[in-house]
Structures are given as structure tokens and as C-alpha cells.
Structure 1
Amino acid sequence: MIAAFVRFVVCGGGVGLASSGVLVLLHDRMPLAVANALVTVVSTLIATELHGRVSFRSERGGWGVHLQSGLTVLVSYAFTTGALLGLYAVQSAPSVLTEQAVYLSASALAGIGRFAVLRLVVFAERPVPAGAALSRAAVVIAA
């Protein structure tokens, strides 16, 4: 579990840092909530593939996995956007460093929650039903 968490942090952290830089670039071009939504969608697709293949070494894939992972991101999106809007409520013109510290801190907390859900639900190993295991064994023996 610790190795999976380290891989999750490296993959998610890399995508998160790249996302943070993109958010800075988009912030002046569009409303913050729209920029964060765009960054979140694209980074989620990339991170879900990385987490499935690298973090959890799972063979599960497809749109169902992306949908389940996307639901965890909706919570993360609300959390990061809420943190940034909270910052702007307290400080009308925070520095980029302060803004990024809040964004990355909120992203890290949301990431811990995502790790738990992805590991325990989305990429969890599914037990093989007894009948299916016997059928597979019969096919192997027959071959």
C-alpha cells in the first residue's frame, strides 16, 4: 500500500504541478472557475490513466473507470475552487505564490481522499467468482 501511495503521489503530483502552471497561464484569460474546470478535466483523464497503469498496476480500464474517477474529481474540483474562492474572500488580490500555495494545498488534501477512493473502489481487485475460477482452470487444463 505504501508503494502504491508513493507511485500515486509521484504521478498525481507531476500532473498536479503541471496543472498548477496551466492554471496560472489561463487565470488571466478566463474566469477562475472555468479555468479550474478545464484544467481539472484534462488532468483527470491523464491522471486516471497513470494511476491505473502505474500507481495501482490495474488492468481495469475504459470509460467506466474514467467516469468513476471523474466523480472523485468533482469533489476535488469543488474543494479546490472553494479554497481559492475562500482565499479571494479574505484577500482580494493575493500574490501568485499565495494563490498557488492555497491551490496546491487543497489539491493535496483532495488527492489523499482520491487515493483512498481509487484504491478501495475504482481500481480495487475484484474477487473472481468461484464458478469463473473453476471454468478458467478447466480451460487451462483442457489446453
Structure 2
Amino acid sequence: MTALQTTTRPGLLSGAYTAWAGPSPIQRTDHRTRLMHYLRGDHILAQLIRFALVGGASNIAYLLLFLAIHGTGPLIANIAGSIVSTMIANELHRRLTFRATTRVTWFTAQWEGGGLAVLGLLATTAALAALDFCAPGLGELTQATAVLTLMAAIGGLRFLALRGFVF
């Protein structure tokens, strides 16, 4: 049954009623179109959503590269994965998140975005070392929660810095 067709059945009191067949494909497409139009916009929330999606994609790239070259050792795999995934994220942020291909060159995005990534790495490392020093007896779940909270805060600061200063 399409959205234009309806079913007529005998009603309890009036003799007949028309059953609703749900939203039409045109209405569903309209909602999807409006959402996609919003997500492609330059609103800060739309950019933040794209920032998070790019971050997720670059984390997947990191994981795949880490697993692919883990035989060279976890340290080398971590460094290579971090560098490559940061480069991927910087370019996707330049092209998709902030649409800055005409304003910012590839090199500038890599240099400044990479510098921010290094600052974020230093900040998270220092904060985790301070946490370990101040509260060495934390349980694994508490440590994991602290790490996720810290990473979210650093990610938010990176978003603001990229949005305000780089792109």
C-alpha cells in the first residue's frame, strides 16, 4: 500500500473510516532533506556534529593502521597511526567540517592542526600523569571515565581552536 492509497473498513458507529497509511515518502524525504541541509550548514552545532564524525572516521583509520603494522611493535604502530589519522582528520576538517579549502591550504591545515593535536596530546598526558600522582588508587572504571571526560574536554577545545583560529 502506498501513502496515497487508504483502506476503508467498516467503523463501529459511522459505517466506515479511512485508515492512515503513515507518512508519505515525500514527507519522509522532506525531513531527511531538511536534516541533511542543516548538517551541511555553517551553524556551530552542524560543524560540531561533522567534527565528531570526522574524529570517529580518523579513529577507525588509526585502528586499522595500528593493526596492520602492529608487527613492527606497538610504539611504532601507535606513532604511525597517530600521525596518519591526524593528517586524515586535518584534511577532512578542512574540506568537510569547516569547508575551508579556499581559505586554508593543505600545508597550513596540517601544520596548525597537527600542532593543536600535539598540544592536545601533551595536555592529556600531563593531566593523566597528574591524576595518577594525585589519586593512584583509582579503579579501572574511574580511570576510564576520567580519560573519556578528559578526551572530550580536549576534543571540545580542539574544535573551538580549529574553528576560531585555523579554519
TM-score, with structure 1 as normaliser? 0.61
Distance 1:16 1:109, change over 3 A: farther
Q: What is the aligned partner in structure 1 of residue 156 from structure 2?
A: 112
- Deviation track 1:81-124 (CA, whole Å, cap 9, x = no partner) reads 123223432236853x544433332221111111112112211x
In structure 2, distance between residues paired with 1:100 and 1:14: 21
> Is residue 5–residue 115 contact of structure 1 (8 Å, CA) maintained in 2?
yes
Which structure has the larger Rg?
Answer: 2
Alignment equivalent of 1:50, drawn from 85, 88, 92: 92
Q: What is the aligned partner in structure 2 of residue 72 from structure 1?
A: 116
> Is residue 61–residue 81 contact of structure 2 (8 Å, CA) maintained in 1?
no
Stretches of structure 2 lacking an aligned partner (at least 5 in a row) = 1-43
In structure 1, distance between residues paired with 2:136 and 2:60: 23
Q: Following TM superposition, by how much is the alpha carbon of 1:17 offset from its aligned partner in structure 2, in angstroms?
A: 7.0
Distance 1:67 1:15, change over 3 A: same
Alignment equivalent of 2:136, drawn from 84, 91, 99: 91
In structure 2, distance between residues paired with 1:103 and 1:85: 11
- Deviation track 1:50-105 (CA, whole Å, cap 9, x = no partner) reads 2112211221332221001111112101111123223432236853x544433332
TM-score, with structure 2 as normaliser? 0.54
Ranked by relative contact order (alpha carbons within 8 Å, sequence separation 6 or more), the top structure is 1
